[in-house]
Amino acid sequence: MPLQEDNAQVGERSNWHTEEHAKINKRLTTIEGEFDLPPYHPDKVPVIILQLRSFRSLLRVHFENEEKNGLQCEFPAIYPRLVSGLNRLEAQHSELLEHLDLTIQLVADSLGPFELDTARRAFKIFVVELRHHEDGEVRSHSERFLRRHRGL
């Protein structure tokens, strides 16, 4: 019976992650759309900065929740071999936030279309890195669920 409860808890965490990632991806799409709207206009810069800062807050809270409740919950005791991968995922949280901070600064420093395009490209790279990170989280949750399901 405890295995069923554990599977239910893992399922709940997986659902939470799915919902969180959907929120994150929706915000990313909105920001990408703002960057992609032509032409350059100085009034566009504060709007993008506001969206990026708001997104950063959402992402920071998401990472804090993962670190507190999600990624490493019971891994060390049950699946010690998975811990190093989880440590790498958690270390990426601060790296991703730093990359986003640099992108926000690039937008803030944008004096024209060339600079804003540089910031847009930095944001696109950030999005790729974040999605790669999210894929790692999903793989980690899937592996944990499969190991529990198989009784490993």
Per-residue pLDDT reduced to its tens digit, 105-141: 999 998 888 899 999 999 999 999 999 999 988 887 7
Q: pLDDT tens, 15-52?
A: 777 898 899 999 999 999 998 887 778 888 999 999 99
- Decide: 24 and 62 in contact? Cβ < 8 Å: yes
pLDDT at position 25: 94
Closest CA to 123 of 23, 58, 29, 41: 29
Give the predicted TM-score (pTM) of the model: 0.83
The CA distance from 152 to 148, in Å, is 6
pLDDT at position 4: 46
Structure token pair of residue 29: 């799409």
